[in-house]
């Protein structure tokens, strides 16, 4: 069966520090991968999605970036965090077009 | 374009009450429709889905019917439990627009004993 992992589960970072969040999927090949952000009490905002290694589509211009160095690995990064980057970051995967999206457990980021 | 509109929350119900959470959609093609549930501090879990008109998705006592004529996919449960307290998201995906999902803003449900 397929599983999706995210880490860390919780992160507290100072403003201006770098960020790296990792997402990995097991049990499937060539998944579509997604990064979402959920601000407190808000809905989901799609940040990036990827249909293959090295292929990244950005939905919202901001100080975040994403990379997909391996088929089942998706990384969300920032060089300098802003207060507004605080939120709950969710990774998801799907197969097919369109396929059901399955979500990871999320990373809660607090920027102070 | 594609979009999903779901009823504003929060919704508070007593245990064993009937639940309806409204969801309507706009789509350019022939979408698949989904309900996801998010328990506190967790990621989203797929609750049910329907891929074509008149399909009924069901799971854990929840049901939703894909109504093309009213562009709706309302979530219902006959008797809610305290453990159903969560945020519920309606979503659609449309083959014509590739791999993206379109989510509603979520409806928070609290069930009190």
Overall average pLDDT of the A65-76 stretch: 96
**pLDDT for the residue B98:** 66
CB contact at 8 A, B19 and B13: yes
What per-residue confidence (pLDDT) applies to B29? Answer: 80
- Check pLDDT > 80 for residue B99: no
**pLDDT tens digits, residue range A23-68?**
999 999 999 999 999 987 778 889 999 999 999 988 886 789 999 9
- Average the pLDDT over B9-25 and give the result: 96
Helix or strand run (H / E) with residue B4: strand B3-6
Q: What is the pLDDT of residue A1?
A: 85
pLDDT for B2 equals 87
CA distances from A81 to A75, A76, A87, A91, B94 (A): 15, 12, 12, 19, 34
pLDDT of residue A61: 65
Say yes or no: A104 contacts chain B, CB-CB below 8 A. Answer: yes
Q: Other CB atoms closer than 10 Å to residue A88's CB: what's the count?
A: 19
Residues B9-21 have a mean pLDDT of 96
- Going by their DSSP bridges, the two strands A44-52 and A55-58 should be labelled as antiparallel
pLDDT number for residue A60: 80
Instruction: List pLDDT tens digits, range B71-93.
Output: 999 999 999 999 999 999 999 99
Percentage of chain A lying above the pLDDT 90 cut? 76
Q: Does A45 touch chain B (CB under 8 A)?
A: no
What's the pLDDT at A47?
A: 93
The 3-class SS string of B40-94 reads: CCCCEEEEEEECCCCCEEEECCEEEECECCCCECCEEECCCCHHHCEEEEEEEEC
Confidence check: pLDDT of A98 > 70: no
> What is the rounded distance in angstroms from the CA atom of residue B48 to the CA atom of residue A101?
12
Contact B42/A44, CB-based, under 8 Å? no
The mean pLDDT value of chain A amounts to 92
A103 → closest Cβ in B41, B44, B105: B44
A30 sits in the region (left: phi over 0; alpha: psi -120 to 50; else beta) called left
A28 touches chain B (CB under 8 A): no
Q: What is the pLDDT of residue B97?
A: 67
User: Angle at the Cα of B56 (from B55 to B61), degrees rounded to 5?
Assistant: 170
User: Within 10 Å of residue A56's Cβ, how many Cβ atoms?
Assistant: 17
A90 Cα to chain B: minimum distance (Å) = 7
Q: How far is B107 from chain A (nearest CA, A)?
A: 9
Instruction: Please state, in angstroms and rounded to a whole number, the distance separating the CA atoms of residues A7 and A50.
Output: 19
Token pair of A57 as six digits: 């589509």
Q: Do B106 and A94 touch (CB under 8 A)?
A: no
Question: How far from B84 is each of A11, A58, B32, B108, CA to CA, in Å?
Answer: 28, 34, 24, 10
Residues 6+ apart with CB under 8 A from A95: A28, A30, A31, A32
pLDDT band at B101 (very low <50, low <70, confident <90, very high): confident
Give the list of residues 6+ apart from residue B30 with CB closer than 8 angstroms, or none: B52, B94, B95, B96
Q: Hey, are the CB atoms on B103 and A43 less than 8 Å from each other?
A: yes
Q: What is the mean pLDDT of chain B?
A: 93
């Amino acid at each position: 069966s397929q599983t999706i992992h995210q880490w860390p589960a919780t992160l507290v970072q100072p403003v201006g520090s770098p960020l790296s969040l990792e997402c990995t999927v097991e049990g499937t090949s060539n998944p579509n991968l997604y990064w979402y952000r959920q601000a407190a009490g808000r809905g989901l905002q799609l940040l990036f999605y990827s249909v293959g290694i090295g292929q990244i589509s950005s939905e919202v211009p901001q100080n975040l970036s994403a990379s997909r160095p391996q088929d089942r690995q998706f990384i969300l990064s920032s060089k300098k965090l802003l207060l507004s980057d605080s939120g709950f970051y969710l990774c998801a995967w799907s197969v097919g077009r369109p396929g059901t999206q399955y979500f990871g457990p999320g990373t809660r980021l607090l920027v102070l | 374009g594609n979009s999903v509109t779901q009823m504003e929350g929060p919704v508070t119900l007593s245990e064993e009450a009937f639940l309806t959470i409204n969801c309507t959609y706009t789509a350019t093609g022939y979408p698949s429709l989904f309900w996801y549930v998010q328990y506190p501090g967790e990621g989203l879990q797929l609750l049910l889905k329907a891929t074509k008109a008149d399909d009924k998705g069901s799971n854990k006592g929840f049901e939703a019917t894909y109504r093309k004529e009213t562009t709706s996919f309302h979530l219902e449960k006959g008797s809610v439990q305290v453990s159903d307290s969560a945020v519920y998201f309606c979503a659609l995906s449309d083959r014509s627009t590739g791999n993206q999902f379109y989510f509603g803003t979520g409806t928070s449900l609290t069930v009190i004993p």
